[in-house]
Amino acid sequence: MTPSDTLSHPFPEQTGDAGSRRSAAGELRETPDSAPVEYRTATDLAAALVARKISSLELVENAIAYIEAVDEKINAVVVRDFDRARDAARLADAKLHRGARAPLLGIPITVKEHFHVAGLQTTWGNPAYHEWRSNIDALAVQRLKAAGAVLLGKTNVPNQNGDWQSYNDIYGTTNNPWNPAFTPGGSSGGGAAALAAGYVPLELGWDGGGSLRTPAHFCGVFSHKASLNLVPLRGLSPPDAPIVPRRDEGAAIGPMARGAIDLELALSVVAGPDELSDGVGYNLSLPPARHAQLADFRVLMIDQHPLCPTSDSIRIALNDMGDRLSKAGCTVLRHSPKLPDLALTSQVFEKLSFAKRSAKLLPEERTEIERRARELAPHDHSLVACMLRGYLISHAEWVALCQLRDDLRARWQALFEDVDVVLCPPFSVQTFKHDHSPMLSRKIEINGTSRHYRCDLHAWAGIANMIGLPSTTMPIAESNGLPIGMQIMGGFLEDRTTLGFAALVELDFGGFRPPCCSPTRRNS
């Protein structure tokens, strides 16, 4: 396979997002007639609302009509709150008329199903919680609403958020807008599908091991996994768990959008310490992006992982982007002596990730895992082996792994003394066809080899989770009619650097464009 056989670049002859174009001076300018309202960015729509070119109620009614007309085939927005959304839109219009301003005032959004939202189902896709409704908003949802966002509803997830696909026995299967035979990814697959389909300009998700980045890659949209604990997690808990301030050692909340500028807008709204915990004594002050010009960035590109192959189409797209960045003036490195051990980073992530889940194992599940672990060869350090051993580690082993994780975090932070961003795949393959067979029996084919579905595919995503790094994913190409994304990792709490880099790449080389099967794309 060669790049010319299957690979294409978003907007090869024009740059900017679907609602804007690049001027001769290089800046993005709003062009209201350049894209249908379904594919405008939140930033453009906010400006149009302030200028009274459109009302919030018009945006909301348009989104509702579009969802009702299209979503039967996609099944992305599975919990709908349309009546309250209309009321919120009317209130937003009244505020705008009085001259009120807020970052998201009047903008329709969706959030992932597992966020608590007062009055709405919060099931995590688990039939045991089918009728459960929350009586409180998650803190991040509260902040979005306080910034003026109008919540249309909640988007689909896999059962317990534990799959690379988004289906469950409550809401059914979500399809990829690029091709309904393919998955939009998981666990934030419903949100990515809603964005790609043009329902809303913003979605709020969560990422414990690729749950934002994988769906963004599969659906050709943008996402940002924030630095560890940058966005408070209160109200992001199973239905039967107490809603209290909490921290995590890997998972992070983050926005999804169709452009980097909207990711930064949404992050600025939801980031900051929980007022009931760290916020008692701390304020947030993120550093600015390291550079304002693309040519000033020092980039390290990685396209191979020692524990899992990466599909040829993704490696071709990533390396082609490296060549384009080099021509644009970036310093592009393919190797660095400071790069920490990728295998060790992923192995520690896998063990700690599944150790955290061990308390909820059923007795029969533990018995089966113990049986499989006994069959492992002593020298087997695959991610499957790490998963099995992680479920069964002792407290002493857990303490040692936590110490090793802290050491790896220091090594990764040292890498960012020499480079500004690390570019790598978000996932080892492009989106794949729906597969609802038993999880542990699933396999995924990568370049002609069969790999373990659940564990091997954690290879790229687990790095940013384990180290706590910010990671922005953006679309960079298409192959065989399906999108390909790029993961941009930066130093801890340097979220503005990864977002700024993504915005500059989008400006020079393009970003989101509607799925090939959408009416907008067919007519372009």
Name the helix (H) or strand (E) containing 489: strand 482-489
Count other C-beta atoms under 10 Å from residue 240's C-beta.
Answer: 8
Q: Specify whether the CB–CB gap between 286 and 271 falls below 8 A.
A: yes
Residue 382 bears catalytic tag: no
For 43, phi then psi, to 5°, come to -65, -45
Which one from 20, 55, 56, 112 is the annotated catalytic residue?
Answer: 112
β-pairing verdict for 298-301 and 331-333: parallel
Q: Specify whether the CB–CB gap between 511 and 504 falls below 8 A.
A: no
Which one from 56, 166, 211, 471 is the annotated catalytic residue?
Answer: 211
Which one from 56, 187, 311, 471 is the annotated catalytic residue?
Answer: 187
Residue 112 bears catalytic tag: yes
Residue 53 bears catalytic tag: no
β-pairing verdict for 449-452 and 482-489: unpaired
| Nearest partner of 228 among 202, 254, 204, 263, judged by Cα | 254
Where would I find the H helices in 212-259? Answer: 213-219
Alpha carbons 82 and 60: distance in angstroms, whole number: 8
Which 3 state secondary structure label does DSSP give 298? strand
| Nearest partner of 63 among 231, 210, 195, 253, judged by Cα | 195
CA angle 400-405-410, nearest 5°? 130
Rg for the chain, CA atoms, rounded: 22
Alpha carbons 122 and 116: distance in angstroms, whole number: 6
Any idea which residues carry the catalytic annotation? 112, 187, 211
